[in-house]
Chains A and B, each alone.
Chain A
Amino acid sequence: MSTVKHAAPAPVATPPVREARRSGPRDPAKRAQAVAGWILASPFVVVFLVFTAGPVLASLGMSFTDIRSTDMRSPFAVAFVGVSNYADLLQDPVFRKVTVNTLLYLVLGVPLTMAVAMLVAVGLNSISRFRGFFRVAFYLPVVTSIVAVSVVWKYIYREEGGLLNAVLGWVGIDGPGWLDSTSLALPSLVVMAVWRNFGTLMIIFLAGLQTVPREHLEAAEVDGASAWGRFRHITLPAMRPVLLFGAVITGIGYLQFFEEAFVMTKGGPLDATRSVTFYTYDQFSFGNYGYAAAASYLLFLAIVVLTAIQFRLLRERD
């Protein structure tokens, strides 16, 4: 499928050439290549082993122990506790609450972000002038610090004197304190996150839209298909891989929701906006390292499962 070329990493893009095997390592030219290859790879490999692979395994190991901040310099005081951290997590009402919240971030955030990104991308794909200008402008929020824009949106969402309620006042609506309500705070954070995040998908979708075969669209138009019909039956199926890829990267992002809640609501009111990442950070701050590691591993598992399901879907039709 050519549509995927521009958007998705293609793990099987280059089947390795087997010539090296055939001529054997004794061949000085091949040998020089092998040596150079490993020299060039070594800095990345060192950083990867020490700061990613090591910690990923260590995190798993720690999640089966009772390690706390006080144990850091005396690793032998740490006891193996089996799966009790995981068992405790599943019993913990706060962890259940943050899991539900995180799933809400996922199921509200992903479709909304994708819908907004697709609307804007289709709009941009249909105009002939100022496309570059609009594309840059709509992308602006993506490059900004989540912490900084969270401060701004917290100010906008205030009950008294907030920009949003002032504007709603024009049409006679007496707006609530958006971040003070247990039912409104989470959706309010999602709205801000959609504003912050849709730009990336917009650019990916725009690139995808430009690979939809024009002949097909024109043929359908000649046959009398409506604009919606063409979009539904030609554009969307052609963009399937791009859409799935977009869903994966957006979903991974929403599963790690944290900074917005940290700054805007401190996880409240009454844990209404606390996420799994936030909970992990909290447990880490309390010094419960083993417990925090277990919570983070459950999140990791969710991310891996989500990605696997979506790649599976991606592959089914190819």
Chain B
Amino acid sequence: MQDQVRTPRWLYAVLAGGLVLVVIPFVWMLVSSIKPEAEVRAVPPTWLPQTVTADNYDTLFTKLDFPTYFLNSVIVALAITVGNVVFCSMLGYALAKLEFPGKRVLFVLVLGTLMVPGVVTFVPLFVLTTNLGLTNTLPGMILPFLAGPFGVFLIRQYVLGLPDELIQAARVDGAGELTIFARVIMPLCGPALATLGVLTFLTSWNNFLWPLVVATSEDKYTLPVALALYAVGQNATQYGLLLAGSVVVVVPVLLVFLLLQRYVVQGIAMTGIK
């Protein structure tokens, strides 16, 4: 596609240099997390671990309650992902292909919601969850995020690209509207649903402000909440431990991303939003 001859070598060198800058913090995190605490604080720093140890990880998972935080994070992120995949595809399809009163208003609301930042809603949302008895529960963390505007927009864009004839043919064959959605359209939406699923999972896994507000006891912390509170609390100077904690938070999403990255890139190109 591009003119091969004219790609200058130096450009590859510059990009490779940029790549090193981007990746170094991750490498430094991994390397430092397997050093003993004293070496983590060494001045000047040691480039390669003089002693390799799993102590930091051992402390996280046996002395601290990281298994619980990890499980909470998985449950919350998966539940939000399933909710968004199901509910957003429903509305996304309706907005793309069905005619019903109020459709236009709904679409404007979806776009408007894209702009509402979490910081505007969290105070009354906390009052609401308290009155519903959902404070310090996982459902309290999940419910407000079950159906977001991003997913609706993404699925709508994708379904708009599917031919109307498919739906009309199914109607002629006597299929009901909901059957058409579930049996005709959804099977064709695989790539868009995968994109939505991956992006929602990544966002939810990293979500911070709302879980921080809702989780009031340690057994309900998600990983980012636990890590942040350790990082500003009495463990603030135990860098080995904190860096190992960062590895535990970051590595699962990096793996999910690297395995499924083509869906992420597709989704951003499709909607322009992460």
A-chain residues with CB within 8 Å of residue B62 when the two chains form the complex? none
> CB-defined interface of A12-41 with B at 8 Å, one 1/0 digit per residue?
011011011000000001101111111111
Which of A103-111, A176-184, A230-238, A295-303 has 4 or more CB atoms under 8 Å from chain B? A295-303
A120-173 CB contacts (< 8 Å) to partner B: 120, 123-124, 126-130, 134-156, 160-163, 166, 169
Question: Which 10 interchain pairs have the tightest Cβ spacing?
Answer: A37-B100, A36-B177, A58-B124, A7-B272, A161-B43, A55-B121, A148-B246, A51-B144, A40-B90, A148-B249
Contact present for A204 and B272 (CB under 8 Å): yes
In the complex, what distance in Å separates the CA atom of A120 from the CA atom of B21? Answer: 13
- Which residues of B are at the interface with A, using a C-beta cutoff of 8 A? 1-4, 7, 11-12, 14-15, 18-19, 21-26, 28-29, 32, 41-45, 86-88, 90-91, 93-94, 96, 98-104, 106-111, 113-128, 130-131, 143-147, 152-153, 160, 171, 176-178, 181, 202, 205-206, 208-209, 213, 223-224, 227-228, 231-232, 239, 242-243, 245-246, 249-250, 253-254, 256-258, 261, 264-265, 268-274
Contact present for B117 and A252 (CB under 8 Å): yes
**What secondary structure prevails in chain A residues at the interface with B?**
helix
Contact present for A55 and B25 (CB under 8 Å): no
A-B contact pairs, 26 of them (CB 8 A): A7-B269, A7-B272, A16-B99, A32-B176, A36-B94, A37-B100, A39-B178, A40-B178, A43-B86, A43-B90, A54-B124, A55-B123, A72-B131, A73-B131, A127-B11, A140-B23, A140-B26, A152-B29, A153-B25, A155-B32, A204-B268, A207-B268, A262-B232, A284-B122, A299-B119, A299-B120
B159 to chain A, nearest CB (A): 11
Contact partner, B23, options A72, A127, A137, A303, Cβ 8 Å = A137
A-chain residues with CB within 8 Å of residue B107 when the two chains form the complex? 11
A17 to chain B, nearest CB (A): 6
Contact present for B257 and A152 (CB under 8 Å): no
Q: Decide yes or no whether A280 CB sits under 8 A from chain B.
A: yes
A171 to chain B, nearest CB (A): 14
- A interface size (C-beta, 8 A): 107
Q: Decide yes or no whether A293 CB sits under 8 A from chain B.
A: yes
Contact present for A155 and B239 (CB under 8 Å): yes
B-chain residues with CB within 8 Å of residue A9 when the two chains form the complex? 111, 114, 153, 271-273
A269-318 CB contacts (< 8 Å) to partner B: 276-277, 280-281, 284, 289, 292-293, 296-297, 299-300, 303-304, 307
B-chain residues with CB within 8 Å of residue A146 when the two chains form the complex? 206, 208, 224
A264 to chain B, nearest CB (A): 8
| A9-B271, A36-B177 known; A56-B116 Cβ under 8 A | yes
Q: Decide yes or no whether A228 CB sits under 8 A from chain B.
A: no
A-chain residues with CB within 8 Å of residue B254 when the two chains form the complex? 140, 143-144
A135 to chain B, nearest CB (A): 7
| A16-B104, A141-B22 known; A277-B91 Cβ under 8 A | no
B7 to chain A, nearest CB (A): 5
In the complex, what distance in Å separates the CA atom of A266 from the CA atom of B232? Answer: 7
Contact present for A156 and B25 (CB under 8 Å): yes
CB closest chain-B residue, reference A207: B269
| A48-B113, A143-B254 known; A289-B208 Cβ under 8 A | no
Contact present for A137 and B121 (CB under 8 Å): no
Contact partner, B101, options A34, A39, A144, Cβ 8 Å = A34
A-chain residues with CB within 8 Å of residue B272 when the two chains form the complex? 6-9, 204, 245, 249
Contact present for B98 and A33 (CB under 8 Å): yes
A-chain residues with CB within 8 Å of residue B7 when the two chains form the complex? 126-129
A200 to chain B, nearest CB (A): 5
B-chain residues with CB within 8 Å of residue A203 when the two chains form the complex? 265, 268-269
Contact partner, A136, options B44, B146, B261, B271, Cβ 8 Å = B261
Q: Decide yes or no whether A79 CB sits under 8 A from chain B.
A: no
Contact present for A35 and B177 (CB under 8 Å): yes
B-chain residues with CB within 8 Å of residue A64 when the two chains form the complex? none
CB closest chain-B residue, reference A153: B25
A15 to chain B, nearest CB (A): 9
CB closest chain-A residue, reference B270: A6
Contact present for B123 and A293 (CB under 8 Å): yes
In the complex, what distance in Å separates the CA atom of A41 from the CA atom of B154? Answer: 15
A-chain residues with CB within 8 Å of residue B91 when the two chains form the complex? 40-41, 43-45
A44-99 CB contacts (< 8 Å) to partner B: 44-45, 47-48, 50-56, 58-59, 62, 72-73
Q: Decide yes or no whether A112 CB sits under 8 A from chain B.
A: no
B-chain residues with CB within 8 Å of residue A292 when the two chains form the complex? 123
